[in-house]
């Protein structure tokens, strides 16, 4: 079990080996007083990076981007395995920008003492995202964690790219079919998300 969280206390209590750091959870985690030092470090880095040329808005933008790096470094200190950190979802259809951002994130974490072998770069499994992962794996040795995988075609393409982790969106697949079928729930053996995930597993095996 790999928890998807930005809560350091939860990771510590659960003795997790790996962590999936979700950008959607960073905002709430950043408001927890227990994480104040992480937020402060992100702001200090942003102020230094922007320098005198920047205003408060620019500093806040840089700090928000840096926040994931600071949380990933804090998580890496708590676990023995790998931390997944995601590239901005707005880059999902931009191959070159995804590659550049992934290398930047890995570079920042290496500066903080987290080796790239302990990092998984989380990328949406669009055509451009998979192409970016192919380059990152082959040319930079950066391991990728593909997300938003809905079908067997994506699974096959991700496997051909040599990515480290393929994450089927089981719940989202099920939610889509619930809406299409007009039902509240499915029996486990009829759940479309579960069925699809098992098909993906069998293909990979």
Which sequence positions are flagged as catalytic?
122
C-alpha–C-alpha distance, residues 181 and 174, integer Å: 10
54: burial class by Cβ within 10 Å (0-12, 13-18, 19+)? middle
Cβ distance 104 to 91 under 8 Å?
A: no
């Amino acid at each position: 079990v790999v928890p998807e969280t930005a809560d350091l206390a939860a990771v510590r209590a659960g003795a997790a080996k790996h962590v999936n750091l979700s950008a959607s959870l960073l905002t709430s985690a950043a408001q927890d007083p227990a994480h104040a030092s992480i937020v402060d470090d992100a702001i200090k880095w942003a102020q230094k990076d922007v320098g005198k040329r920047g205003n408060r808005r620019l500093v806040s933008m840089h700090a928000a981007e840096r926040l994931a790096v600071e949380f990933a470094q804090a998580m890496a200190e708590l676990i023995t395995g790998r931390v997944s950190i995601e590239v901005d979802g707005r880059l999902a259809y931009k191959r070159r920008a995804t590659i550049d951002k992934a290398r930047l994130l890995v570079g920042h974490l290496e500066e903080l003492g987290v080796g790239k072998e302990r990092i998984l770069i989380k990328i949406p499994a669009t055509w451009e995202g998979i192409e970016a992962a192919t380059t990152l794996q082959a040319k930079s040795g950066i391991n990728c964690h593909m997300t938003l995988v809905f079908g067997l075609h994506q699974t096959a393409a991700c496997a051909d790219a040599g990515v480290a982790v393929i994450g089927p969106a089981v719940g989202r697949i099920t939610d889509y079919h619930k809406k299409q079928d007009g039902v509240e729930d499915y029996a486990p053996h009829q759940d479309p998300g579960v069925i699809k995930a098992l098909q993906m597993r069998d293909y990979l095996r």
